[in-house]
């Protein structure tokens, strides 16, 4: 996994004036409205916003599973038409194939594209050791712990050496301890490859710890509220999160913006915007079959 310098790293994604509607007729609701942002190549950009504000819909647009209602999304200048191995998504709930062992899951990509050769087999072996799952090669996903499933999914994406790694709150649901260990683990993985990464979360500590560039989103319909450059030195260690004043200063800035947004969506009681978006986006996913 050689280290790429920033200048010619691929994977710059530009969104301009992107809008996305769900539902039809009077239940039509804009989830993303006129959102423009750039995910810089070679950087770990983290997007944070209240739950259900439309972040996952943005990911589905970038990954190419859905088309924006208006506006354009390009990767290195080329418009995005459909899913491709240049933009791989690690979902919130594990999308490991339950009927495949860890080994089969990880080498799914090369086999699917019939690019299996000694080089890809070595890479697979290297990655399985790297994610610490060598003794779990023959195990099925439901025999792995949450943390192990996440690492397996990371390896499955990395073997295809995508231009951009997209992660949708991958560590949500893990217990706090495993989650913090995964932060450090994922940060080191990025520091080795300096590959473009687009990480979405609702956890402020996670965002501050991981991010080179922090994109704070508003409540639904979501758009960019603020962008903060985080220049905490790398490689980053968990202890830096508590000691470094800069980390804490950024954290309180985010808190001010996001707490207000979270309260707005929360105060709406059971029919809060968050629930509607959550249900609507679930429906949107289900009816593309």
Partner 1 sequence: MFRPIQKFLFNRSSSRGLIAIIIFLLFWEVCSRSGVWFGIPVPWIGKVPAPTAVVHAWIPMLSDSGYWTSWLLSIKRVYIGFIFAMVIGIPFGLLLAINRTAYGLIFPTFEVFRPIPPLAWVPVAIIFWPTNEMSIAFVTFLGAFYTIVINVLGGAQAIDQRFFQAARSMGSSQGDVFKRIVFPAVVPSIAVGASVGMGITWNVVIAAEMISGGGSDGGGKGGGLGFFIWDSYLNNSYDLIVVGMISIGIAGYLSSGLIRIIGDHFTKWTRR
Partner 2 sequence: MNKIMLKLNLNLREESLIRKLLSPRFFLMITGFVIFLCFWHLSVEVWQLPRFAQLPTLRAVVTEFISTNPIYGVSIFTHELYQHILASCLRVFAAFILATLLGVPLGLFLGWSTKFREYVFPVFEMLRPIPILAWVPLAIVMFTGIETPVIFLAFLGSFFVTALNTMLGVQQIDESYFRAARCLGANSFQVFKHVVIPGAMPFIFTGLQISVGVCWFSLVAAEMVSGQYGLGYIINTSYTNVRYPTIIIGMITLGFIGYITSAMVRSVGKSLMKWRMRELALSEG
Partner 3 sequence: MTNSPQTRGQISIKDVVKIYDPEGAAVMAVDHCSLEIAAGEICMIVGPSGCGKTTLLNAIAGFHSINGGSIEMDGQLLCGPGKPQATPGSDRIVVFQNGALFPWKNVIDNLMFGPLMSGKLPFNEIKEKALYMMADAGLSGTENSFPGELSSGVKRRVEIVRALMNDPSVLLLDEPYRALDSLSKSVMHEALLDIYAKNKVTIFFITHDLQEALFLGTKLAIMTTRPCKPKKILTVDIPYPRSYSVVTEKRFRDLMEETSHLVHEEAKKSFAAGEKEG
Residue numbers of the site for partner 2 (CB under 8 A)? 65-67, 82, 279-280, 282-283, 286-289
Q: Minimum Å distance from CB 279 to partner 2?
A: 6
How far apart are the C-alpha atoms of 58 and 66, rounded to whole Å? 9
Contact of 146 with 42, CB cutoff 8 Å: no
3 binds, among partner 3, partner 2, partner 1, none (CB under 5 to 8 A by kind): none
Q: Is the peptide bond before 142 cis (omega within 30 degrees of 0)?
A: no
User: Looking at beta carbons only, is 10 or 71 nearer to partner 2?
Assistant: 71
Nearer to partner 1, 97 or 266 (CB): 97
Which residue's CB is nearer to partner 2, number 69 or number 101? 69
Joined together, the tokens standing for residue 249 give 């200063």
Q: CB of 98: closest distance to partner 1 in angstroms? A: 6
Question: d(Cα 260, Cα 266) in Å, to the nearest integer?
Answer: 10
Q: What is the DSSP string of 261-278?
A: HHHHHHHTGGG-HHHHHH
What Cα–Cα distance (Å) separates residue 284 from each residue in 30, 82, 153, 209? 13, 16, 24, 32
280 makes contact, choosing from partner 3, partner 2, partner 1, none, with CB < 5 to 8 Å by partner type, with: partner 2
In the complex, the residues that contact partner 3 under the rule CB under 8 A are: 50-51, 144-148, 169, 172-178, 180-181, 201-206, 238, 242-243, 248, 251-252, 255, 258-259, 262-263, 266-267, 269-272, 274-275, 278
If residue 103 lies in a helix (H) or strand (E), which one and from where to where? helix 102-106
- What is the closest distance, in whole angstroms, from the C-beta atom of residue 153 to partner 1 in the complex? 9
| Residue 108 CB, nearest approach to partner 2 (Å) | 16
- Residue with smaller CB distance to partner 2, 60 or 156: 60
At CA 38, angle to CA 36 and CA 44, rounded to 5? 135
């Amino acid at each position: 996994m050689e280290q790429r310098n920033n200048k010619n790293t691929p994977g710059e994604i530009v969104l301009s004036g992107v809008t996305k509607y769900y539902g039809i007729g009077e239940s039509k609701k804009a989830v993303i409205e006129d959102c423009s942002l750039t995910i810089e190549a070679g950087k770990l950009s983290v997007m944070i916003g209240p739950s259900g504000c439309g972040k996952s819909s943005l990911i589905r647009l970038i990954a190419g599973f859905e088309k924006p209602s208006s506006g354009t999304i390009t990767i290195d200048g080329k418009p995005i038409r459909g899913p491709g191995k240049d933009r791989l998504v690690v979902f919130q709930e594990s999308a490991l194939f339950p009927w495949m062992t860890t080994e089969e899951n990880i080498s799914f990509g090369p086999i699917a594209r019939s690019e299996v050769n000694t080089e890809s087999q070595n890479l697979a072996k290297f990655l399985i050791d790297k994610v610490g799952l060598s003794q779990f090669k023959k195990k099925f996903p439901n025999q792995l712990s949450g943390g192990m499933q996440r690492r397996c999914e990371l390896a499955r994406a990395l073997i295809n050496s995508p231009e951009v790694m997209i992660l949708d709150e991958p560590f949500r649901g893990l217990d706090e301890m495993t989650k913090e260990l995964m932060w450090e683990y994922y940060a080191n993985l990025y520091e080795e490859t300096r590959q473009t990464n687009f990480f979405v979360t609702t956890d402020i500590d996670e965002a501050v710890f991981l991010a080179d560039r922090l994109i704070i989103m508003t409540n639904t319909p979501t758009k960019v509220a603020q962008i903060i450059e985080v220049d905490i030195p790398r490689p980053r260690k968990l202890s830096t999160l508590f000691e470094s004043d800069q980390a804490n200063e950024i954290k309180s800035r985010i808190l001010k913006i996001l707490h207000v947004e979270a309260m707005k969506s929360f105060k709406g009681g059971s029919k809060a915007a968050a629930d509607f978006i959550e249900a609507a986006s679930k429906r949107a996913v289900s009816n593309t079959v």
